[in-house]
A and B are shown apart, each in its own frame.
Chain A
Amino acid sequence: MTATHLGMPAFPAAAREAVRDDVLRANLRRATHTIRDKRARAVSELADWDRLRAAGKAVKDHTLRHLDHYLLRLEAAVTAAGGTVHWAADAAEANRIVTALVLATGEREVVKVKSMATQEIGLNEALEAAGIAAYETDLAELIVQMGHDRPSHILVPAIHLNRAEIREVFRTEMGRWGRPAPDGLGDDPRELAEAARLHLREKFLHAKVAVSGANFMVAETGTMVVFESEGNGRMCLTLPETLISVVGIEKVVPTFRDLEIFLQTLPRSSTAERMNPYTTMWTGLGPSKGADGDGPAAFHLVLLDNGRTDTLADEVGRQALRCIRCSACLNVCPVYERAGGHAYGSVYPGPIGAILSPQLRGTDEEIDASLPYASTLCGACYEVCPVAIDIPEVLLHLRERVAQGGPATREGIRVRIRPARGHTAERAALRAARLLLERPGALRAGERLLSRARRLRPRRLPGPGRAWTDSRELPRPPREPFRDWWARERGGRA
């Protein structure tokens, strides 16, 4: 994955800043609760939701099990429809391919459709280094890009900002990127959207090259599918002469019919809509191969691995590849709500980020080793996930890899991950606790000691115990442990 986020502090330290930022906390709380409630209503309208969820899971699992087969079918179908397929093993290779394709057109500007895959590989930065300007056209991405900020949500990248903050970005930055914001711009959402519309319209009409991702790729027909709300994506997908799509290999589905499931589950899970306003589908260059001037004259599909095959090799972790990036898990996550998206140090924040980043990037970096612990295991994410990814199960699996070490696949090679640094004291403590708990005699002695020390009752503990007592009182030890009460009161029967 991209290096832009690496060197981030571990999750707890990054989250501390966010927790203390009252404006951010309020922005996140309002936004996540609104969409959370709307999603619940949209989902409850469908009597067969559970079956749709199970069907989505089954389609994805089947496809992942035969991924090689479906990717080859997809390649054949896209090629037959006039497109060109490229394979990229990692971010660097994908960036090289896209950069070369853009340079070959002679253009130095591209418009972009909102895409997680291109963010994952840091494409904008790679293009910039080659002298190519990439313009985001999704409203929220545009705000983030102009504000020199980082996205903090999969679907609503500027969720951490409120409208006053957005107005500020438009007022001060829009002019540097193209058509400036009108004078006297207010912070009414409609006014802000109109300013962005005028700004973007100019970009669409000039752009010769567009870069996109895709939500789904149909192996059977070679059809690419993009779900969106604003219509800006459709502009990018139809107006420019060259279209380059960078798509993760896990986005393939076998047949056109499979879309039926996701056309229902994705919009309801992500924007809480029955149907998203724009669903754009294209198959290579279309029947006319672009000759009628309708749609792009050249289409390139860059299939991205970047850690996905390694993830697929892991029996527990591979379910993360079912993800359709709806962001429902972010919106219900109580940790995301307080910590915000930036604390996850990746373009994939929230619960899905906590299981995806440590798999795609490995657990060597401090931030990635801390992500499996960025959860209370409350299970709200699993409950809403439209493809039934058991996120708590994967979190526990990855905690094990971090704390205890274990097998993993890196760049196609089976390796043994060594326990992460910084877990020595914890390992010793939990081991000691286990040894004590295994010996009820010793346990009882320990419990009695605790009861005897009950009058000491410290308010603040030193060392790691401070993490508890900084915000909470300690429980008061009782006069006697339960087992002593039992021995005294019911002992004769035990």
Chain B
Amino acid sequence: MRAALFVTCVNDALYPRTGVAVVRLLERLGVDVDFPAAQSCCGQPQYNTGYRYESEPLLRRTARAFAGYPYVVAPSGSCVAMIREHYPRIGARAAAEGRGNELADLAAGLVPRVYELTEFLVDVLGVTDVGAYFPHTVTYHPSCHGLRALGLGDRPRRLLAAVRGLDLIELPGAEECCGFGGTFAVKNPDVSAAMGADKVRAARATGAEVLCGADNSCLAHLDGTLRRAGAPLRTLHIAEILASTDEAATTTEGKHPR
């Protein structure tokens, strides 16, 4: 099976380990992974801040970069939500503004092939036990776009629960937003920080070693909050846990120090 990795701009620039983990994980599960180098950003920062026109060239680029791949997999719920929920809207608005159907067609061609990582694993590959080994206590924060826009449901938790050695602790108030919200984090810094502090307090109270998520932008906000507080809890993308195996767990890479 052939699939293209949409690593997303945040992971490309700041969290390459997540991208590497997705490649190793999918290859281990027999997927032929490709990384089309023409990809960049889905346009979410522009679109969510109110600059729809600025997001259009990025829609075009993303759709073209992944043309021809039967599956496109991204380790980010919010970027997949951007494509699935908003690309068709951007296309429809452009058409309504008399600018033709180009964007609408590009969106329609891309949307059905795009999957968030845990969706791809559970729904397409049909696996929940990916053969991972991660001997740590973990609590999981489901980011809002994955939870509500994509309806990922218990897929991430099922994947984590099947990891050998992993002790999954429920995060109280898990469904509450962490306060990142893209440009919200800097446009409303006080509310964002207050929400982050509450989320971090709940995560620390679980006593887990690792705060796991499926969206590194939310984790950047939580990790930054934790490190400012000098808290020992570390954040980790779910792909990195699922990529861990017996051999890897003992190497430095398996422990994923950041």
Q: How far is the CA of A12 from the CA of B52 in the complex (A)?
A: 23
In the bound complex, do residue B228 and residue A494 qualify as a contact, i.e. CB atoms below 8 Å apart? no
Beta-carbon contacts of A462-489 to B below 8 Å, as 1s and 0s? 0011011011111111101111111100
Does B164 interact with chain A (Cβ within 8 Å)? no
- Known contacts A339-B191, A404-B51, A431-B54: A379-B149 contact under CB 8 Å: yes
Does B15 interact with chain A (Cβ within 8 Å)? yes
Q: How far is the CA of A276 from the CA of B45 in the complex (A)?
A: 43
Contact of B193 among A11, A334, A472 (CB under 8 A): A472
Q: How far is the CA of A471 from the CA of B16 in the complex (A)?
A: 25
Does B182 interact with chain A (Cβ within 8 Å)? yes
In the bound complex, do residue B181 and residue A473 qualify as a contact, i.e. CB atoms below 8 Å apart? no
In the bound complex, do residue A483 and residue B35 qualify as a contact, i.e. CB atoms below 8 Å apart? yes
Interface size of B in residues (CB-CB distance below 8 Å): 72
- Known contacts A373-B184, A481-B12, A481-B16: A380-B148 contact under CB 8 Å: yes
Does B39 interact with chain A (Cβ within 8 Å)? yes
Q: Which residues of B contact A427 (CB under 8 A)?
A: 51
* 8 Å CB interface, A323-352 against B: 334-335, 338-339
Q: Which residues of B contact A225 (CB under 8 A)?
A: none
* 8 Å CB interface, B1-39 against A: 7, 9, 11-17, 19-20, 23, 33-39
Beta-carbon contacts of A413-435 to B below 8 Å, as 1s and 0s? 00000000000001100110110
- Known contacts A334-B179, A477-B14: A467-B49 contact under CB 8 Å: no
Interface residues of B (CB under 8 A from A): 7, 9, 11-17, 19-20, 23, 33-41, 43, 45-55, 57-58, 61, 86, 89, 144-145, 148-149, 175-177, 179-197, 220-221, 223-225, 227-228, 258
In the bound complex, do residue A438 and residue B58 qualify as a contact, i.e. CB atoms below 8 Å apart? yes
Q: In this complex, which of B13, B49, B50, B190 has the most chain A Cβ atoms within 10 angstroms of its Cβ? A: B50
In the bound complex, do residue A478 and residue B40 qualify as a contact, i.e. CB atoms below 8 Å apart? no
In the bound complex, do residue A443 and residue B144 qualify as a contact, i.e. CB atoms below 8 Å apart? no
Does A374 interact with chain B (Cβ within 8 Å)? yes
- In the complex, which residue of chain B has the Cβ closest to the Cβ of A25? B194
Q: Which secondary structure dominates chain A's binding surface?
A: helix
Q: Which residues of A contact B37 (CB under 8 A)?
A: 440, 483, 486-487, 494
In the bound complex, do residue B179 and residue A376 qualify as a contact, i.e. CB atoms below 8 Å apart? yes
Contact of A490 among B35, B50, B186 (CB under 8 A): B35
In the bound complex, do residue B50 and residue A399 qualify as a contact, i.e. CB atoms below 8 Å apart? yes
* 8 Å CB interface, A5-35 against B: 11-12, 15-16, 19-20, 25
In the bound complex, do residue A475 and residue B224 qualify as a contact, i.e. CB atoms below 8 Å apart? yes
Q: Which residues of B contact A372 (CB under 8 A)?
A: 50
- In the complex, which residue of chain A has the Cβ closest to the Cβ of B55? A434
Contact of B45 among A373, A430, A440 (CB under 8 A): A430
Cβ distance B84 to chain A, nearest Cβ, rounded Å: 13
- Known contacts A472-B196, A478-B15: A494-B51 contact under CB 8 Å: no
Q: Which residues of B contact A480 (CB under 8 A)?
A: 16
Q: How far is the CA of A339 from the CA of B187 in the complex (A)?
A: 14
- In the complex, which residue of chain B has the Cβ closest to the Cβ of A431? B54
- Known contacts A334-B176, A438-B61, A467-B185: A12-B223 contact under CB 8 Å: no
Q: Which residues of A contact B86 (CB under 8 A)?
A: 396
Q: How far is the CA of A483 from the CA of B5 in the complex (A)?
A: 11
7 shortest A-B CB distances, which residue pairs?
A376-B181, A403-B50, A472-B224, A399-B50, A471-B193, A378-B177, A482-B16
Q: Which residues of A contact B11 (CB under 8 A)?
A: 482
Contact of B189 among A12, A20, A393, A485 (CB under 8 A): A12
List 11 other contacts, CB 8 Å, given A396-B50, A438-B57.
A338-B194, A377-B182, A404-B50, A431-B51, A434-B43, A443-B9, A464-B186, A468-B186, A471-B197, A481-B16, A486-B23
Q: Which residues of B contact A396 (CB under 8 A)?
A: 47-48, 50, 86
Cβ distance B78 to chain A, nearest Cβ, rounded Å: 9
Q: Which residues of A contact B185 (CB under 8 A)?
A: 467-468
Cβ distance A115 to chain B, nearest Cβ, rounded Å: 30
- In the complex, which residue of chain A has the Cβ closest to the Cβ of B195? A334
In the bound complex, do residue A19 and residue B40 qualify as a contact, i.e. CB atoms below 8 Å apart? no
Cβ distance B236 to chain A, nearest Cβ, rounded Å: 14
Q: Which residues of A contact B51 (CB under 8 A)?
A: 400, 403-404, 427, 430-431
Cβ distance A40 to chain B, nearest Cβ, rounded Å: 10
In the bound complex, do residue A443 and residue B40 qualify as a contact, i.e. CB atoms below 8 Å apart? yes
In the bound complex, do residue B16 and residue A478 qualify as a contact, i.e. CB atoms below 8 Å apart? yes
- Known contacts A334-B177, A373-B187: A478-B14 contact under CB 8 Å: yes
In the bound complex, do residue B190 and residue A377 qualify as a contact, i.e. CB atoms below 8 Å apart? no
Q: Which residues of A contact B55 (CB under 8 A)?
A: 434
Q: How far is the CA of A470 from the CA of B34 in the complex (A)?
A: 39
Does A437 interact with chain B (Cβ within 8 Å)? yes
Q: How far is the CA of A464 from the CA of B185 in the complex (A)?
A: 11
Q: Which residues of A contact B180 (CB under 8 A)?
A: 376
In the bound complex, do residue A377 and residue B224 qualify as a contact, i.e. CB atoms below 8 Å apart? no
Does A402 interact with chain B (Cβ within 8 Å)? yes
Cβ distance B64 to chain A, nearest Cβ, rounded Å: 11
Q: Which residues of B contact A434 (CB under 8 A)?
A: 41, 43, 46, 54-55, 57-58
Q: How far is the CA of A2 from the CA of B134 in the complex (A)?
A: 59
* 8 Å CB interface, A144-181 against B: none
- In the complex, which residue of chain A has the Cβ closest to the Cβ of B54? A434
Cβ distance A32 to chain B, nearest Cβ, rounded Å: 11
Contact of A12 among B12, B48, B188, B221 (CB under 8 A): B188
Q: How far is the CA of A377 from the CA of B180 in the complex (A)?
A: 10
Cβ distance A484 to chain B, nearest Cβ, rounded Å: 8
Q: Which residues of A contact B43 (CB under 8 A)?
A: 434
Cβ distance B175 to chain A, nearest Cβ, rounded Å: 8
Q: How far is the CA of A427 from the CA of B183 in the complex (A)?
A: 12
In the bound complex, do residue A378 and residue B148 qualify as a contact, i.e. CB atoms below 8 Å apart? yes
Q: Which residues of B contact A447 (CB under 8 A)?
A: 12-13
Q: Which residues of A contact B35 (CB under 8 A)?
A: 482-483, 486, 490, 494
- Known contacts A378-B148, A404-B52: A440-B196 contact under CB 8 Å: no
Q: How far is the CA of A336 from the CA of B82 in the complex (A)?
A: 24
- Known contacts A475-B220, A494-B37: A470-B189 contact under CB 8 Å: yes
- In the complex, which residue of chain A has the Cβ closest to the Cβ of B27? A490
Does A238 interact with chain B (Cβ within 8 Å)? no
In the bound complex, do residue A473 and residue B228 qualify as a contact, i.e. CB atoms below 8 Å apart? yes
